[in-house]
Structures are given as structure tokens and as C-alpha cells.
Amino acid sequence: MDASRAEQIMKSSDIIGVMYRNNYVWIEDIDKGRNTAHVTYLEEHNTIHVGIDQLEETGPIKQLH
């Protein structure tokens, strides 16, 4: 993924799936200068910094409600 797409996903009102190393994450913040993202694992709630190019978009997620 590139920084522009990561920023679009982060700002989107839709819920768009993003994975890092086969785990779903939530993009918290983007650092375009360093090409990194601050992400939180959805299952474990751990927050880490990762390379944006290591993020994988999986597409829109429909809400279950």
C-alpha cells in the first residue's frame, strides 16, 4: 500500500479492512516522511509502527448490525 491510500483509508467514513502480517489492524496515524503507519491490532489492541508498504488492503467491511 502507498501512503496516499493509507491516508484515504484512515480518513474514510467506511470501514476498510487492512492487514499487517495476516492480522487485521486499524490505522491510527500516518508519517509520510518516514513512510510509516501507527497501527493497532484489532484482536490484541497492541499498537505498533510499521512500514506502510507492509500493509495490505482487504476491501470494505460490512457492519454486522
Which domains does the chain show, CATH number per domain? Answer: 3-60 (2.30.30.30)
Q: What is the mean pLDDT of each run of 10 residues along the chain (65 residues)?
A: 96 94 96 96 93 96 67
CB–CB of 6/55 below 8 Å?
yes
CB–CB of 6/52 below 8 Å?
yes
Phi, psi (deg, nearest 5) at residue 31: -115, 95
For residue 13, give the 3-state DSSP assignment: coil
Phi, psi (deg, nearest 5) at residue 26: -110, 125
Distance CA 1, CA 18 (A): 10
Distance separating the N- and C-terminal Cα atoms of the chain:
29
pTM to 2 decimal places: 0.87
